[in-house]
């Protein structure tokens, strides 16, 4: 009955129930979930609305899905249900360069929007390293960040209004320009648990007049971390301030030949953008700070091609981990910039204790660490060590006053850790919001909230 009703609403080509299709949609970049009852690929909001109504009638959960690049199990079905893949809803619905905004369907690939806007000297600022493949809808649902979010802000700073399909299959709009509750903010980062985003008005920014990129090398991660804090303390907010440790730099260079020196203890990739007249001043000030903090080398990338190569290496770092081991687990925690050296030391110790290789490639300016734990999943002992060491990194971040996710979200993976950073009352307030939008708890069940959470029933982990 479910299958036939979906086919009647969307056409046979948009409904998948063959076991091999269900399997393909039971994964994201983090893990595999249960097989869903069906996968649907709607083309417009009307079809999404029909899917939600059918799901409601049949008592099926609804699991929204963008490109499946999420790193916390957000898009995997944990409780069966209907996976709604938005990849066919990938059009720019309205493009208003004069007003610096566009309305897009959620399945549009992030980079495609900047490529469209680039012809008018505009771009879409949130740039997760997955931007060649991840979707605007997935980015909105996770409040995605990226290297350039240090100065431009995360996805939430660039979403103006959303079209939402609610739990009854009805359509409503949120709009930050109108008075009343800011429901747009409630939906950004809600990981598909409140409703389905079927269109988004997003902000476009003017491409900067001038961009400079400076790779700097340091003997160790401590001196590089101190330079990061000193740059910000000097009142300079570069557009990006990224760090790679020695293990990561060697893997990236082997994979991309991007131009990074392989004998450094740490590399900082510093980018600043703005008016050309201001650039020489920034360049000499940043050069002075990194030298004062022990940089071994410092240079300016001379051409666009050189800048592109450096960024391709940095953004492709996760793929380069294949040079170290067949598998990697990418952790995502956030600490204050001032405690970055302690956090990096702790990660080194944890790697040593568990006999694992951990490479660090991260958004240093935000204190957002991404230790990549390299392993071979055919070795069960290593798998256990990866899980335990990942948990230890989480605890370390919390102990340093940080948090359990910088940008990848909570999803299925980190929901139990929520009790370690929120009080019972905090979680109950969030659960209450969910109750309003999704009383049936049909949208993306088993995500964000720890097991057993209903309003005011959250028991903190001892």
Ligand X SMILES: Cc1cc2nc3c(=O)[nH]c(=O)nc-3n(C[C@H](O)[C@H](O)[C@H](O)COP(=O)(O)OP(=O)(O)OC[C@H]3O[C@@H](n4cnc5c(N)ncnc54)[C@H](O)[C@@H]3O)c2cc1C
Contact residue for ligand X among 49, 116, 130, 389 (CB under 6 A): 130
For ligand X, which is the closer residue by CB, 146 or 282?
146
226/271 with CB nearer ligand X = 271
CB of 406 to ligand X, least distance (A): 8
- Written as one string, the DSSP assignment of 110-163 is HHHHHHHHHTTTEE-----TTTTT-BHHHHHHHT---TTHHHH--GGGGEEEEE
Q: Nearest distance from residue 285's CB to ligand X, in Å? A: 27
Q: How far is the CB of 289 from ligand X (least distance, A)?
A: 25
The reply to whether 36 sits near ligand X by the rule CB under 6 A is no
Q: How far is the C-alpha of 241 from the C-alpha of 213, rounded, in Å?
A: 10
Q: Which of residues 164-203 bind ligand X (CB under 6 A)?
A: 191-192, 196-197
Selected from 49, 114, 116, 129, the binder of ligand X by CB under 6 A is: 129
Rounded Cα gap, residues 145 and 397, in angstroms: 19
Give CA–CA dist 279/265, Å, rounded.
Answer: 28
Angle at which helix 380-399 crosses helix 340-353, to 10 degrees, equals 160
CB neighbours of residue 272 within 10 Å: 24
| 252, 314 Cβ separation under 8 angstroms | yes
Residues touching ligand X, count (CB under 6 A): 37
Q: Please report how the helices 221-233 and 340-353 are oriented relative to each other, as an axis angle in degrees rounded to 10.
A: 160
307 C-beta neighbours (distance < 10 Å), count: 18
Contacts of ligand X in 66-125 (CB under 6 A):
66-71, 74-75, 86, 106
Compose the 408-447 pattern: x for residues touching ligand X by CB under 6 A, - for all others: x--x--------------------------------x---
- Contact (CB, 8 A) for 389 and 362: no
* Residue listed under structure tokens 């000030």: 285
Q: Site for ligand X (CB under 6 A): which residue of 29, 78, 310, 427?
A: 29
Segment near ligand X (CB under 6 A); pick from 16-24, 261-269, 371-379, 405-413: 405-413
CA 318, chain centre distance (Å): 13
Segment interacting with ligand X, rule: CB under 6 A, options 134-142, 174-182, 294-302, 338-346: 134-142
Return the number of the residue (134 or 419) whose C-beta is nearest ligand X: 134
Which residue minimizes CB distance to ligand X?
138
In whole angstroms, the minimum distance from the beta carbon of 149 to ligand X comes to 8
Residue from 42, 77, 80, 145 touching ligand X (CB under 6 A): that is 145
73 token code pair: 């199990």
Say if strands 62-65 and 82-85 run parallel, antiparallel, or are unpaired. parallel
Nearest residue (CB) to ligand X, 116 versus 139: 139
In the range 273-292, which residues lie near ligand X by CB under 6 A? none
Nearer residue to ligand X within complex by CB, 75 or 343: 75
User: Shortest CA distance to 155 belongs to which of 131, 119, 174?
Assistant: 131
Cβ proximity of 343 and 397 under 8 Å:
yes
Which string of x and - marks every residue 233-272 that binds ligand X (by CB under 6 A)? Answer: ----------------------------------------
Strand-pairing partners, residue 40, are: 15, 84
Contacts of 378 by beta carbon, 8 Å cutoff, 6+ apart: 326
Question: Please, which residues have CB within 8 angstroms of residue 24's CB and are 6 or more apart in sequence?
Answer: none
Binding region for ligand X (CB under 6 A) out of 62-70, 169-177, 378-386, 412-420 = 62-70
- Our CB check for ligand X shows the closer of 111 and 236 to be 111
Of 138 and 215, the one with the shorter C-beta distance to ligand X is 138
Q: Which helix (H) or strand (E) holds 304?
A: helix 304-315
- Give the nearer residue to ligand X in terms of CB position, either 223 or 444: 444
Residue 196 CB, nearest approach to ligand X (Å): 5
Of the two residues 61 and 215, which places its CB atom closer to ligand X in the complex? Answer: 61
Residues shown for the chain: 462
Cβ atoms 129, 145 nearer than 8 A = no
Q: Min. distance of Cβ 279 from ligand X in angstroms?
A: 26
Pick one of 273, 289, 318, 453: the residue that binds ligand X (CB under 6 A): 318
Query: Which residue's CB is nearer to ligand X, number 55 or number 290?
Result: 55
Shortest distance, position 40 Cβ to ligand X, whole Å: 13
First to last CA, the chain: 46
What's the rounded Cα separation, in Å, for the pair 143 and 330? 18
Q: Which is nearer to ligand X, 188 or 264 (CB)?
A: 188
Q: Are strands 357-362 and 240-245 parallel, antiparallel or unpaired?
A: antiparallel
Residue 444 Cβ, how far from ligand X at the closest point, in Å?
Answer: 5
Residues that bind ligand X (CB under 6 A): 28-29, 63-71, 74-75, 86, 106, 128-130, 134-135, 137-139, 141-142, 144-146, 191-192, 196-197, 318, 407-408, 411, 444
């Amino acid at each position: 009955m479910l299958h036939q009703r979906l086919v009647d609403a969307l056409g046979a080509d948009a409904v998948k129930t063959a076991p091999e299709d269900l399997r393909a949609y039971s994964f994201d970049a983090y893990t595999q979930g249960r097989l869903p009852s069906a996968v649907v690929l709607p083309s417009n909001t009307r079809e999404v609305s029909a899917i939600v109504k059918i799901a409601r009638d049949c008592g099926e959960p609804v699991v929204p899905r963008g490109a499946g690049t999420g790193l916390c199990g957000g898009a995997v079905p944990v409780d069966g249900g209907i996976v709604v893949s938005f990849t066919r809803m990938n059009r720019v619905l309205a493009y208003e360069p004069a007003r610096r905004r566009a309305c897009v369907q959620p399945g549009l690939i992030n980079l495609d929007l900047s490529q469209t806007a680039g012809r008018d000297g505009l771009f879409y600022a949130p740039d997760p390293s997955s931007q060649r493949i991840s979707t605007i809808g997935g980015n909105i649902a996770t409040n995605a960040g990226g290297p350039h979010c240090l100065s431009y802000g995360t996805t939430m700073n660039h979403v103006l209004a959303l079209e939402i399909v609610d739990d009854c299959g009805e359509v409503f709009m949120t709009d930050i320009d109108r008075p009343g509750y800011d429901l747009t903010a409630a939906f950004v980062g809600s990981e598909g648990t409140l409703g389905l985003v079927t269109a988004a008005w997003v902000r476009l920014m003017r491409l900067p007049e001038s961009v400079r990129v400076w790779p700097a090398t340091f003997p160790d991660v401590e001196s590089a971390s101190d330079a990061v804090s000193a740059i910000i303390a000097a009142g300079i907010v570069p557009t990006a301030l990224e760090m790679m440790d020695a293990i990561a730099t060697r893997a990236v260079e082997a994979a991309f030949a991007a131009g990074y020196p392989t004998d450094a203890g740490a590399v900082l990739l510093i980018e600043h953008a703005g008016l050309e007249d201001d650039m020489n001043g920034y360049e000499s000030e940043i050069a002075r700070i990194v030298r004062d903090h022990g940089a071994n080398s410092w240079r300016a990338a001379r051409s666009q091609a050189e800048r592109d190569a450096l960024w391709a290496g940095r953004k492709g770092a996760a793929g380069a981990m294949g040079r170290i081991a067949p598998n990697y687990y990418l952790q995502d925690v956030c600490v204050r910039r001032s405690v970055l050296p302690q956090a990096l030391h702790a990660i080194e110790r944890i790697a040593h204790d568990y006999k694992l290789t951990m490479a660090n490639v991260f958004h240093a300016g935000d204190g957002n660490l991404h230790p990549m734990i390299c392993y071979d999943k055919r070795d069960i002992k290593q798998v256990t060590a990866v899980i335990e060491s990942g948990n230890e990194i989480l605890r370390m971040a919390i102990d340093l006053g940080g948090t359990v996710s910088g940008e990848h979200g909570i999803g299925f993976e980190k929901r139990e850790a929520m009790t370690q950073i929120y009080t019972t009352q905090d979680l109950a307030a969030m659960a209450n919001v969910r109750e309003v939008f999704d009383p049936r708890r049909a949208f993306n069940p088993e995500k964000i909230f720890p097991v057993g959470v209903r309003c005011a029933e959250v028991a903190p982990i001892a």
